[in-house]
Chains A and B, each alone.
Chain A
Amino acid sequence: MKHNKHTYIKLFTSTFYLSAFTFGGGFVIIPLMKKIFVDDLHWIEEDEMLNLAAIAQSSPGAVAVNAAILLGYRIAGVFGALMTILGTILPPFITISIISIFYSAFRDNAIISAVLKGMQAGVAAVIADVVLNLGGSVIKDKDIISSLVMVGAFVATFFLKVNVMFIILICGLIGAAKVLININKSNKGGDSK
């Protein structure tokens, strides 16, 4: 892809919008990034987006910032990463700067809290949509281990509140074990499938 001015501007504006309207932080921004950079712009593949998400989650710091750095770097190099960092950091920076001055008025404003409440429902809908797409494609792969990992990881994080780092570690190990066993099998002349 050509790294022209248009790419940089698009990287900045897309991450700026996403960051400005993503409440709750953490993983919420990943499905939104996927929606824009994979589904709308077709700049990277779905698999690659999930790989970047895994790296973002395993690194220290805010997941949203990490994912933005990785995405920007992957699409348009170091300068692209600078664009996405700025795009991700500026909205909360501006919002908080303003709010810290008007905090008590903001907290007690009923209309603002109604708008925020409405947006929560919208964000939930967007995430549900992405989960249906991604989950569907994992199941369609007909790889039983992948499907089990998905269900297991969900139960572990949502119901059992297992530390996310631990889940990442275990699932990575399962994946590594899977390919190593496959290699072993094919070396012995068995069915490598």
Chain B
Amino acid sequence: MILLELFWSFMQIGMFSIGGGMAAIPLIQNQVVNINQWLTLTEFTDLITIAEMTPGPIAINSATFVGIRIAGLPGAIVATLGCVLPSAVIVFTLAWIYNKYKELTVIKGILSGLRPAIVALIASAGLTIFILAIWGEGGFSSDPQSINITSALLFTMGIFILRKWRLNPIVVMLGSGLIGGLVYSLI
């Protein structure tokens, strides 16, 4: 039963991809290309490209993509649910433990150590995207020619607007996408 196989495969992906994002790629490849041969390696590479170009976690994107290719819409739904189920169960358990014990001194201590670390992780994710936006796939370079001027201007405008007027972040993101598209079409 193909739907059951999809559900089971993506449940394993959801269960064992700890750390999220890129950490899930080798797991997905193993299930989808090596074990079940649902996609060829080229199709899988295309899938990763799509996943990077579109919103949403890579695991959810691949579940939808593979599901729809293998078994249509029901396949996509089943694979996506399988992918989410294990984290939902574990996260609910952790949330319950957190709510019950968050007043304990040791837990408070652990959380107080984690908070600055989370700020660092956010900063790191932000810097990665910043470099991608300004310099592209090649990464940081000291050559001023390699700077994407449109992106640099959009970034500067974005941060100025956010700090000065505290605008809704979605407006800033959509606006910079719109301007990016316009600038490209005009030049």
Q: Which A residues are within 8 Å of any B CB, using their own CB?
A: 17-28, 30-32, 35-36, 39-40, 47, 50-51, 53-66, 69-70, 73-74, 81, 85, 88-89, 91-93, 95-97, 99-100, 103, 106-107, 110-132, 134-135, 138, 146-147, 149-154, 156-158, 163-165, 167-168, 171-180, 183
Q: Contacts A55-B98, A122-B176, A174-B113; is A179 near B55 (CB within 8 Å)?
A: no
Can you give 29 A-B contacts (C-beta < 8 A)? Answer: A17-B170, A25-B51, A50-B119, A51-B111, A54-B114, A60-B15, A60-B16, A61-B59, A61-B84, A65-B57, A74-B99, A92-B55, A92-B64, A93-B64, A97-B64, A97-B73, A100-B68, A103-B50, A107-B50, A118-B176, A120-B133, A122-B158, A124-B126, A124-B134, A125-B157, A158-B127, A172-B114, A176-B109, A178-B109
CB pair B169 A65 closer than 8 Å: no
Chain B interface secondary structure, helix, strand, loop or mixed?
helix
CB pair B108 A179 closer than 8 Å: yes
CB pair B50 A128 closer than 8 Å: no
Q: Is B60 an interface residue (CB 8 A)?
A: yes
- Residue among B129, B155, B175 with the most chain A CB within 10 A? B129
The residue of chain B having its C-beta at the shortest distance from the C-beta of A22 within the complex is B55
CB pair A126 B174 closer than 8 Å: no
CA distance A128 to B46 in the complex (A): 30
> For chain B residues 140-184, which have a beta carbon within 8 Å of chain A?
148, 150-152, 154-159, 162-163, 166, 168-170, 172-181, 183-184
Q: Contacts A95-B55, A128-B126; is A146 near B115 (CB within 8 Å)?
A: yes
CA distance A138 to B121 in the complex (A): 14
B183 surroundings in chain A (CB, below 8 A): 114, 118
CB pair B120 A157 closer than 8 Å: yes
CA distance A165 to B86 in the complex (A): 18
CB pair A70 B68 closer than 8 Å: no
CB pair A22 B73 closer than 8 Å: no
Cβ-defined partner of A146 (8 Å) among B23, B87, B112? B112
CA distance A126 to B68 in the complex (A): 33
The residue of chain A having its C-beta at the shortest distance from the C-beta of B176 within the complex is A122
CA distance A116 to B174 in the complex (A): 10
Measured CB to CB, the closest approach of chain B to A149, in angstroms, equals: 4
Closest 4 CB pairs of A and B: A118-B180, A175-B113, A92-B56, A61-B87
Measured CB to CB, the closest approach of chain B to A10, in angstroms, equals: 13
A116 surroundings in chain B (CB, below 8 A): 53, 177, 180
CB pair A114 B185 closer than 8 Å: yes
Q: Is B26 an interface residue (CB 8 A)?
A: no
CB pair A126 B181 closer than 8 Å: no
> For chain B residues 98-122, which have a beta carbon within 8 Å of chain A?
98-99, 102, 105-106, 108-122
CB pair A154 B124 closer than 8 Å: yes
CA distance A103 to B47 in the complex (A): 9
CA distance A47 to B115 in the complex (A): 7
B177 surroundings in chain A (CB, below 8 A): 115-116, 118-119, 122
The residue of chain B having its C-beta at the shortest distance from the C-beta of A73 within the complex is B95
CB pair B116 A70 closer than 8 Å: no
A128 surroundings in chain B (CB, below 8 A): 126, 130, 155, 159
- Residue among A95, A127, A132 with the most chain B CB within 10 A? A127
The residue of chain A having its C-beta at the shortest distance from the C-beta of B111 within the complex is A51
- Residue among A24, A32, A47, A118 with the most chain B CB within 10 A? A118
Cβ-defined partner of B49 (8 Å) among A31, A107, A114? A107
